[in-house]
Chain A
Amino acid sequence: MSAPSWILLVAYLVVLLLLSWPLGIFLQRVADGDLPRWLRPLQGLESLLYRAAGVDSSHGMAWRQYAVGLLAFNVLGLVVTYALQRTQALLPLNPQGMAAVSPDSAFNTAVAFVTNTDWQGYAGEGTMSYLTQMLALTVQNFFSAATGIVVVIALIRGFVARSAGSLGNFWVDVTRTTLYVLLPLSMLFAVVLVQQGTPQNLSPYAIVDTLDVTAWQQPKIGPDGQPLQDAAGKPVLEGMQTRQQILAMGPVASQEAIKMLGTNGGGFFNANSAHPYENPTPLANVLQMLAIFLIPAALVFMFGRMVGDRRQGLAVLAAMTVMFVLATSVVTVQEQQGNPLIASLGADQTASTLQSGGNMEGKEARFGIAASSLFAAVTTAASCGAVNAMHDSFTPLGGAVPLVLMQLGEVVFGGVGSGLYTMLIFAILAVFVAGLMIGRTPEYLGKKIEIHEMKMTSIAILVTPVLVLAGTAIAVLADAGKAGIANPGAHGFSEILYAFTSAGNNNGSAFAGLSANTPFYNALLALVMWFGRFGVIVPVLAIAGSLAAKKRIPVSAGTLPTHGALFVGLLIGTVLLVGLLNYVPALALGPVVEHFMLWHAK
């Protein structure tokens, strides 16, 4: 890795820790209902809302009640997001006159945004009205983030509680998270993004007169709306030219801010954070990467404070950081090395003071290799899925790292809330494995881990690999699945594997060559996203409920300490072993084969 790449990575981590540590303190106070004084004015609004909703904010919920409230809230989100897309042509704030989204695409998109996946089968600037972007997609960016955060808060309460029946109140948790955490941070970040150049308006698209003429050829369309074909069956091309460019506009910054802070990742435009309006400058890019990890890292600090032992949080943070640095260095080295086939054609891929060099296909000049590689690692380590470069055009191993980071279960910082609750599930598994080795009853944070918890842990850990591998298998067997492939050979398989990995782990990034906006992929990926989200959340809440009911046992000589280097190693080992082994055969068929073909294609 080059010096600028290392400087970027180290500076990024230092600033991240400096920002997330105080935020973690704040999150703990919000979670415990101990609000700082300057937030008191907003509390009037909060209690007004509870009165209107008939919520008794002091009423604690058992885990089933908590889960039912959470599911109802998310199902309603699904219905509303679908309905808004289907009726957008009749609604206001639609200056470009966007038509209703097709039923299968609208369903897929609704599931994608409710589950915090934000998989995009559509191109934003050609599909969604401003109202849909705001009231359907931006809202779900907030709600899905809040959902993840409240689940991890409930799980931590399960560890902290002593023989209690309640995990807290879902309505209170979701309201406070949105009102006191997500909204103020988004407001601040959105304005910073506008300063950097991200548009924020409700105007129609701007038409500009370009300096040079653009000429191109496109298939001629016959009177029946189908492309015309000549006698040989080839499409008839017609020459076109224009001196105009139409620039897509919209309330971009407000959506961009929560897209990052909530690890959602659904872009306003098709090119996502590669689009110069979404991510205008190298500084904006660094801020976006910080925004992705900010809350996941702060939640780890919050966790340490809530369980009353900050070292527990630091141990988890250390495990995450080690895996993250390893992953980033592999992507950066691979992408900087470039593509041997392109080098052999006479292109110069060497890094210098005049160019970033490396594998620049599908990357933006202002980000180059270092900031594109770091972004790719950040966005897939967290379940964000925003992209500032096209992962489909990465080198085989450079593209394998995002794939692997998702397959680990999105626990390397991970999604807001979901990253930490999944990591804590891995921690439970790690102490269970250690308990078997030393012949003790496993315990974590003073709670005995018994049969019921291990059953639920197994479900939570196995549900995603099953969905991902079964989905991939169905798609490579079905003609409708194979029809979507864009690149030949092993890479085509990787495109499908990536799509299901991304959906099952609620990431949302893609090997975007895959044509996934078809009824087949829209339906299958929607199912994988839904069960990949709630198939984990429900068992996690069940674990929280059963832990809450247990006594806290004091630390004894037989307790395995869960804050030292030994535990960090054990945790990393468990994540790698369980997370990765499931996928080794699939990875061998995709990126690994492609790597050897690329470097030995002489």
Chain B
Amino acid sequence: MKGLIRPVLVVFLALSVLTGIAYPLLVTLVARVAFPVQAAGSLLMRGGKPVGSTLIGQNFSDPKYFWGRPSATSPQPYNALNSGGSNLGPLNPALAEAVRARIEVLRAADPANAAPVPVDLVTASASGLDPHLSIAGARFQVARVARVRGLPADQVQRLVDRTAQPRQPGLPGEPTVNVLLLNLALDEAAMPQR
């Protein structure tokens, strides 16, 4: 036993300093020099103030904006201090009820739209902070956003297409639109020309 205490203490301490202090600090240093924007959380600045992050979704409920994935974070949706999903099982009546209610809200906001509702628009994301929506989910909302904003539908459609990231053959990824970037572009397009 006597021969055990010194090695365990010294090896533990030395490797702890190396992996728990030196390593994260070195990565922090390299990150700040090489990729300062990403290292700081990919913040989006407008007029010198942060309005969000390209990676973190925001809650949208105003009909003039595109709505993102439903978020199950508590107490409020898109709470970045408490990420997580709904964890509702496939048979849980609460899941069917939530989906039914979301479809109802979408239908009420745009009664003329009879297209089937893309599934990701009515199901909660895993993180509760999903910045993306499927392209189908964005297209579904084009008519509503155009009507509420008094913009031509094809102009809104063009904004969606410009923001969209389709599937690239041979590369991983799904067809998505970044909802915050799309809504920022929408607000900028709606501003009077200077």
Q: Give me the interface of A with B, judged by CB distance under 8 Å.
A: 4, 7-8, 49, 52-55, 68-69, 72-73, 76-77, 80, 123, 125-126, 134-136, 138-139, 142-143, 171, 174-175, 178-179, 182-183, 186-187, 190-191, 194-203, 205-216, 218, 240, 242, 245-249, 251, 253-255, 257-258, 269-271, 274-277, 280-283, 285-286, 338-339, 341-342, 345-349, 352-368, 370-372, 387-390, 392-396, 486-491, 494, 511-513, 594, 597-598, 601
* B126–A388 CB distance below 8 A: yes
* B89–A392 CB distance below 8 A: yes
Contact of B11 among A8, A73, A355, A597 (CB under 8 A): A73
Q: Give the docked Cα–Cα distance between A445 and B170 (Å).
A: 42
Q: Annotate B115-140 by CB proximity to A: 1 below 8 A, 0 otherwise.
A: 01111101111111111111111010
Q: Give the docked Cα–Cα distance between A49 and B9 (Å).
A: 11
Q: Given A246-B80, A258-B19, A392-B88, 20 more contacts at CB 8 Å?
A: A125-B82, A135-B16, A138-B24, A175-B15, A195-B38, A199-B40, A201-B39, A214-B59, A240-B76, A276-B131, A348-B136, A352-B136, A356-B175, A361-B86, A365-B133, A366-B130, A370-B174, A390-B86, A487-B92, A491-B92
* B43–A208 CB distance below 8 A: yes
Q: Give the docked Cα–Cα distance between A186 and B174 (Å).
A: 27
| Residue tally, chain B, CB below 8 Å to A | 107
- A352 surroundings in chain B (CB, below 8 A): 136
B55 on the A face (CB < 8 A): yes
Which of B6, B15, B85, B103 has the most C-beta atoms of chain A within 10 angstroms of its own C-beta?
A: B85
Which of B31, B69, B86 has the most C-beta atoms of chain A within 10 angstroms of its own C-beta?
A: B31
Which B residue sits closest to A488, measured CB to CB? Answer: B92
* A355–B85 CB distance below 8 A: no
Which of B23, B137, B167, B183 has the most C-beta atoms of chain A within 10 angstroms of its own C-beta?
A: B23
Q: Give the docked Cα–Cα distance between A242 and B81 (Å).
A: 14
Contacts A211-B183, A240-B75, A364-B130 given; does A199 touch B85 at CB 8 Å = no
Contacts A126-B82, A135-B16, A338-B119 given; does A208 touch B91 at CB 8 Å = no
* A254–B173 CB distance below 8 A: no
* B75–A347 CB distance below 8 A: no
List residues of B (63-86) whose CB comes within 8 Å of A's CBs. 65, 69, 75-86
A–B complex contacts, Cβ < 8 Å, 19 sampled: A69-B4, A194-B31, A194-B38, A201-B31, A206-B43, A208-B53, A212-B60, A213-B62, A245-B80, A249-B40, A282-B173, A341-B91, A347-B122, A354-B118, A355-B136, A365-B137, A365-B176, A368-B174, A491-B91
* A486–B87 CB distance below 8 A: yes
Q: Give the docked Cα–Cα distance between A15 and B120 (Å).
A: 30
CB B25 to nearest CB in A, in angstroms, measures 8
Q: Give the docked Cα–Cα distance between A602 and B103 (Å).
A: 21
Q: Annotate B92-104 by CB proximity to A: 1 below 8 A, 0 otherwise.
A: 1101100110010
Contacts A347-B118, A354-B135, A360-B120 given; does A68 touch B4 at CB 8 Å = yes
Q: Give the docked Cα–Cα distance between A53 and B11 (Å).
A: 6
Q: Give the docked Cα–Cα distance between A253 and B25 (Å).
A: 11
Q: Give the docked Cα–Cα distance between A390 and B83 (Å).
A: 12
Q: Annotate B156-175 by CB proximity to A: 1 below 8 A, 0 otherwise.
A: 00000000001100111111
Q: Give me the interface of B with A, judged by CB distance under 8 Å.
A: 3-4, 6-12, 14-16, 18-21, 23-24, 26-28, 30-32, 34-35, 38-43, 49-62, 65, 69, 75-93, 95-96, 99-100, 103, 116-120, 122-137, 139, 166-167, 170-176, 180, 183-184, 187
* B38–A347 CB distance below 8 A: no
Contact of B84 among A249, A251, A370, A512 (CB under 8 A): A512
- B83 surroundings in chain A (CB, below 8 A): 123, 125, 248, 269-271, 274-275
Q: Give the docked Cα–Cα distance between A348 and B127 (Å).
A: 22
Q: Give the docked Cα–Cα distance between A270 and B75 (Å).
A: 15
* A393–B55 CB distance below 8 A: no
* B81–A354 CB distance below 8 A: no
Q: Give the docked Cα–Cα distance between A394 and B88 (Å).
A: 9
Query: Mostly helix, strand, loop or mixed at chain A's interface?
Result: mixed
Contacts A138-B24, A201-B39 given; does A276 touch B90 at CB 8 Å = no
- B127 surroundings in chain A (CB, below 8 A): 271, 274-276, 364
Q: Give the docked Cα–Cα distance between A212 and B57 (Å).
A: 12
Contact of A55 among B7, B31, B50, B53 (CB under 8 A): B7
* A271–B58 CB distance below 8 A: no
- A4 surroundings in chain B (CB, below 8 A): 167
- B39 surroundings in chain A (CB, below 8 A): 194, 199-201, 253
* A209–B51 CB distance below 8 A: yes
- B123 surroundings in chain A (CB, below 8 A): 342, 347, 360-363
- A72 surroundings in chain B (CB, below 8 A): 4, 8
* A390–B85 CB distance below 8 A: yes
- A135 surroundings in chain B (CB, below 8 A): 16, 20-21
CB B104 to nearest CB in A, in angstroms, measures 10
- B87 surroundings in chain A (CB, below 8 A): 362, 390, 392-393, 486-487, 511-513
Q: Give the docked Cα–Cα distance between A80 and B8 (Å).
A: 13
Q: Give the docked Cα–Cα distance between A240 and B24 (Å).
A: 38
* B12–A73 CB distance below 8 A: yes
CB A302 to nearest CB in B, in angstroms, measures 22
Contact of A210 among B3, B23, B58 (CB under 8 A): B58
* A55–B11 CB distance below 8 A: yes
* B12–A246 CB distance below 8 A: no
Q: Give the docked Cα–Cα distance between A388 and B174 (Å).
A: 14
Contacts A73-B11, A245-B78 given; does A597 touch B126 at CB 8 Å = no
- A249 surroundings in chain B (CB, below 8 A): 40-41
CB B171 to nearest CB in A, in angstroms, measures 8
Q: Which 3 A-B pairs have the closest CB atoms?
A: A513-B87, A274-B126, A355-B134
* B32–A201 CB distance below 8 A: yes
- B174 surroundings in chain A (CB, below 8 A): 282, 355-356, 365-368, 370-371
* A254–B119 CB distance below 8 A: no
* A186–B23 CB distance below 8 A: yes
CB A404 to nearest CB in B, in angstroms, measures 18
* A206–B91 CB distance below 8 A: no
Contacts A187-B23, A195-B35, A199-B38 given; does A348 touch B10 at CB 8 Å = no
Which B residue sits closest to A369, measured CB to CB? Answer: B174
- A489 surroundings in chain B (CB, below 8 A): 91
* A362–B40 CB distance below 8 A: no
CB B29 to nearest CB in A, in angstroms, measures 9
Q: Give the docked Cα–Cα distance between A74 and B185 (Å).
A: 53
* B176–A199 CB distance below 8 A: no
- B99 surroundings in chain A (CB, below 8 A): 342, 345, 347
CB A216 to nearest CB in B, in angstroms, measures 4
Q: Give the docked Cα–Cα distance between A52 and B12 (Å).
A: 12
Q: Give the docked Cα–Cα distance between A271 and B129 (Å).
A: 9
CB B122 to nearest CB in A, in angstroms, measures 5
CB B1 to nearest CB in A, in angstroms, measures 8
CB A188 to nearest CB in B, in angstroms, measures 10
Contact of B28 among A254, A283, A396, A487 (CB under 8 A): A254
* B35–A362 CB distance below 8 A: no
* A355–B128 CB distance below 8 A: no
Contact of B34 among A194, A210, A274 (CB under 8 A): A194
Q: Give the docked Cα–Cα distance between A347 and B32 (Å).
A: 44
Which B residue sits closest to A199, measured CB to CB? Answer: B41
